Amino acid sequence: MTIEGKAVPVPDLDRETQVLEEQFSGPSDDAGRPGEFHVDIPRPRRGAAARWQDGVTMRALVYDLLAVSLGVGLGYFLRFDRAVEVDLLEPRGGLYVLVSVVLVEGWLLALGLSGSRRQEVIGAGHEEYLRVVRASFGLFGIVAVACFVAKFDLARSYVAVTLPVGLALVLLGRWFLRRRLHELRRRGECRRRTVLVGSHEAVRDLGRRIERASGAGFEVVGVCVRGGVGSASPLDGVPVLGTVAQAAKAAARAEADAVAVTGHEEATPGALKQLAWDLESTGAKLVVVPGLADVAAPRLLITPVDGVPMVQVTHPGYTGLQHAAKRAFDVVGATVILAVVLVPLTVCAGLVRLTSPGPAFFRQQRIGLNGEPFTMYKLRSMRPGAEARLTEALGTEAGVFYKPRNDPRVTRVGRFLRKYSIDEFPQLINVLKGEMSLVGPRPQVAHEVRQYDEAWKRRLFVKPGLTGLWQVSGRNDLPVDESVRLDLYYVENWSLLGDVGIILRTAREVFMPSGAY
């Protein structure tokens, strides 16, 4: 072939077509027939956790079905007279039988689509409850729009009973399921076999946190760190299965259900993507642990940027609308509690006066918000002049959060008051005065505050509380560093819903005290 007088080679189209066919269809076999092209893609392995996870998911579905059916059924029977003859075409009541059946099915579907029954979510607490609430309100929003478009007058009293009752029952069922799941996990059951990957220090910190949070359901079966097999393990009793680059193979050998990657220099986006691909055939889930600690989920916002998830951390809500809501909650709560305990408190004050010389109430200067001192009130539980005998009672200088188990200064009535935290109730007056909150870090005296380091000073960013997170987590039985960690976690992540939960746990501690002396 010539173009403008120049010879141009003509491509052999038949030969090129044959080469392409061989690439995509494989070489010809001896009989001259084209071979079959085959890509061997291994099927993901179902780990040991799959068995109990399927059971938990099915149990959640059953709980949801019972809760939704009871809520919808109660809404129907309270709205309509049970003596009415049921007819699917009868507008007063019979039509709502069909509406109720559709609503139950739609509610179950909404809970499923929201991911509230996903294996990673069940038992997670806040995230699980949030998805249940979103699904429920989203469903009834869709129902309201559909009724408006169809010009169907859905009885408001029917919805007013069905939604809150059904939602409350679903949440209650999930709470019972979570409690049961956490109980099993504390006994060593229903756990996900997990391999930790990262630097020695990061793996050690993550391992300790997993050990403390047994309810999360992770069981560390091995680690992958620099140096690989033969190097010292950052966790006692946990073997080193390989290097960071060998994480996928190590997970397969250990039959792991999850691989948790924490901070190390090799955790590049490309390496994490390749690890995720390598884990697909093993059935293990990839868990990426960011370099953040003690930050609650509501403060985290994940924003994808060009395919990379960026975790944004919002500031703690010390001021503004959240602060005003907390103050209103404190005033209302303190007023109600004080009205309930006023008579028993008066009786206890009389017992203090009768059994020991001195005033019934004890006043002491404590350090509050932003380091400002205030006068705190308590029922007197010690003999007069106890403050001057502090060193004598302890035998040494008092440290932060230190309370002796058998303090000789405490009276017999005082031991009873301390055991059930009755001596703390006069601090409700401090709450009403705005010097304290119902929930917050416990106020301390000046010589203890002087021992604070920079991190501990963050306890003073919020008002001190009548009760707090460490008071419902072991009180004086906890080591100092754990008590401070819990207080700082509260300061960084407090919420009104969290305060309600702490108050409910405090009520349990009052009747079943532990670590109080």
Are 115 and 231 in the same domain?
Answer: no
Residue 203: which CATH number? Answer: 3.40.50.1980
Are 83 and 225 in the same domain?
Answer: no
β-strands 218-224, 240-242 pairing: parallel
Eight-class DSSP state of 461: G
Residue 340, domain extent: 321-511
Report the candidate in 221, 346, 284 with the shortest Cα–Cα distance to residue 47: 284
CA distance 474 to 10: 86
What pLDDT does 63 receive?
A: 95
Which whole-number Å values give the CA distances from 449 to 1, 442, 443, in the listed order?
95, 12, 9
CA distance 2 to 421: 104
CA distance 456 to 452: 5
Are 459 and 376 in the same domain?
Answer: yes
Are 128 and 209 in the same domain?
Answer: no
Q: Is residue 43 part of a domain?
A: no
Are 110 and 249 in the same domain?
Answer: no
Are 471 and 374 in the same domain?
Answer: yes
φ/ψ of 195, rounded to 5, equals -110, 130
Among the residue ranges 175-189, 351-365, 383-397, the one predicted with the least confidence is 383-397
What pLDDT does 410 receive?
A: 82
Q: Is residue 142 part of a domain?
A: yes
What pLDDT does 112 receive?
A: 94
Are 243 and 329 in the same domain?
Answer: no
Are 254 and 349 in the same domain?
Answer: no
Are 269 and 409 in the same domain?
Answer: no
Report the candidate in 463, 366, 454, 378 with the shortest Cα–Cα distance to residue 421: 378
Cross-strand bridge partners of residue 288? 261
Q: Is residue 9 part of a domain?
A: no
Are 84 and 173 in the same domain?
Answer: yes
Are 363 and 493 in the same domain?
Answer: yes
Q: Tell me which H or E stretch contains 321.
A: helix 321-355
Residues 77-132: tens digit of each pLDDT: 887 655 444 444 444 556 778 888 999 999 999 999 999 999 888 888 888 999 99
Residue with tokens 């956790």: 49
Which amino acid type is present at position 74? L
Residue 234 has pLDDT above 50, yes or no: yes
Q: Is residue 41 part of a domain?
A: no
Q: Is residue 75 part of a domain?
A: yes
Residues 257-269: tens digit of each pLDDT: 999 998 778 788 8
Contacts of 345 (CB under 8 A, 6+ apart): 379, 422, 425, 426
Are 412 and 345 in the same domain?
Answer: yes
Eight-class DSSP state of 469: T
Which amino acid type is present at position 11? P
Q: Is residue 246 part of a domain?
A: yes
Domain count of the fold of the chain: 3
CA distance 199 to 267: 10
Q: Is residue 35 part of a domain?
A: no
